């Protein structure tokens, strides 16, 4: 059975039409019979076409991208995507890196990328812990900024004084959602106490 090549192309913004056309041409040249494409920023939280491509691929298929940064936002993101592909029995090819996970060298390169990412993350967390310990020792550590929940008493007290939701949100610097969550939780507690 011949592997089906599925392409994925992405450019940051809609004005990068030429960049998208180059990717589409390269993916077709590589033998992709179906190509998913989208034009949105790499920091966009959702990439619907990428999700469709990941859902579409089947065991034995090969997912093809022109460059690593077209597929993943970070090495951690790449590892998550490749793990999803691995579980489905799908290989990954990155044309610019000549990386193909169906080969031992391709698998090794991908594992190295993952190990480096994990190592970097551990170093970052260690530096963060050291920084916090140093700040605590110097009496400069403030901890996390208080969340809206810590202002619940104040919210309810201002509400009782007759302030509007908008005034309370503005005064305490909390979001609309936080305000209504606090009020709803207080109502639920009140109802529970009342029904006893």
**What is the set of active-site residues?**
12
Give per-residue burial for 110-130: e unless 16+ CB within 10 Å, then b.
beebbeebeeeeeeeeeeeee
The Cα–Cα gap between 32 and 62 comes to 9
User: Which residue, chain included where needed, has tokens 């619940």?
Assistant: 152
Contact status, residue 99 vs residue 69, Cβ threshold 8 Å: no
Distance CA 95, CA 70 (A): 11
In the chain, DSSP assigns E strands to 5-11, 34-39, 62-65, 91-94, 99-100
């Amino acid at each position: 059975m011949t592997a089906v090549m599925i392409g994925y192309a992405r450019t940051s913004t809609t004005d990068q039409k030429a960049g998208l056309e180059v990717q589409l041409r390269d993916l077709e040249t590589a033998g992709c019979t179906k190509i998913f494409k989208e034009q949105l920023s790499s920091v966009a939280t959702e990439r619907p076409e990428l999700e469709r491509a990941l859902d579409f691929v089947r065991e034995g298929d090969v997912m093809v991208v022109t460059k690593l940064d077209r597929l993943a936002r970070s090495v951690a993101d790449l590892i998550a995507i490749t793990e999803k592909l691995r579980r489905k029995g799908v290989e990954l090819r990155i044309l610019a890196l000549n990386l193909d996970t169906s080969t031992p060298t391709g698998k090794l390169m991908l594992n190295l990328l993952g190990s480096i990412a994990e190592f970097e993350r551990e170093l970052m967390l260690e530096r963060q812990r050291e920084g916090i310990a140093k700040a605590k020792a110097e009496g400069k550590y403030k901890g996390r900024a208080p969340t809206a929940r810590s202002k619940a008493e104040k919210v309810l007290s201002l509400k009782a004084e007759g302030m509007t939701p908008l005034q309370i949100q503005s005064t305490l610097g909390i979001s609309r959602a936080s305000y209504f969550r606090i009020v709803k939780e207080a109502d639920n507690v009140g109802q529970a106490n009342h029904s006893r």
